[in-house]
Amino acid sequence: MISISRSGVWPEGVFAGASSGVLLALSFPPYPTRFLLLIALVPIFWYYLLVFPRVSAMSADIPGYSSGRLWLKSGTAVGFSFGITFFLMLLFWIANLIPASSVHHPFVLIPGLVLLVVYLSCYPVIFTVSLSYLTGRFGSVALVFSPALWALTELARSRGELGFSWGIVSASLVPYPVAIQGLSIYGPFGLSMVFVTVNLLVA
């Protein structure tokens, strides 16, 4: 189990997730690098195309090491590293409100920001754990479901009392009306599926 952890579940999974988190965050304002949206998820897809199959094969040779445990560990490593990196970079401006805020206890804003980031990171974890399960069961071909899975997690994150729609992929293209002409047909989550598909094809 130690060899598995050192061979892709934690180091490479965390690196892949954090890399995608940085790239996707740089696709949003105030950064002028919106084009990174086309490759932001490529590190995660590379992980599932190149690293995850190797780790799965290693786990199969270890008696008593369940596949479900591997899927959960790998998905959590990739998803949380992605979510924490992405949402911290996306929401850093909340900390800048502290000096100008009129709240009586401004020190609660930092813990509040941390809790918000951790909560929002649970949705990418759902995405990556699902990818781990599907890829572990059906092989790399299961990545074709990733655009739909991504859109579903964005939809879930945007709904309900705790809904938070800022940070969905299609929102980064708001300054470019030509790029979002199809929103009236397939909606923002459909556009997210399009760009996740592009990332998958690039990978």
Mean pLDDT of 9-33: 88
Question: For 180-185, what is the mean pLDDT?
Answer: 66
Q: What is the pLDDT of residue 129?
A: 93
pLDDT above 60 for 93: yes
Comparison of pLDDT for 153 and 105, the residue scoring more: 153
| Residue 181 pLDDT > 50 | yes
> In whole angstroms, what is the distance from residue 125 CA to residue 122 CA?
5
Cα–Cα separations (whole angstroms), residue 41 to 12, 22, 46, 85: 15, 10, 9, 13
What does the pLDDT average to over 17-29? 92
Q: How far apart are CA 151 and CA 142, in angstroms?
A: 16
> Cβ contacts of residue 61 below 8 Å, gap of 6+?
none
What six digits make up the tokens of 147? 């655009």
Among 127-136, 144-153, 168-177, name the one with the lowest average pLDDT: 168-177
Quote the pTM value.
Answer: 0.84
Range name among 25-39, 96-110, 139-153, 181-195 with the lowest pLDDT average: 96-110
Positive or negative: CA dihedral 73, 75, 77, 83: negative
| Cβ neighbours of 30 (radius 10 Å) | 5
What's the whole-number average pLDDT of the chain?
A: 81
* pLDDT-above-90 percentage for the chain: 36
Above pLDDT 70, what percent of the chain? 76
pLDDT band at 46 (very low <50, low <70, confident <90, very high): very high
What distance in Å separates the CA atoms of residue 65 and residue 112, rounded to the nearest whole number?
38
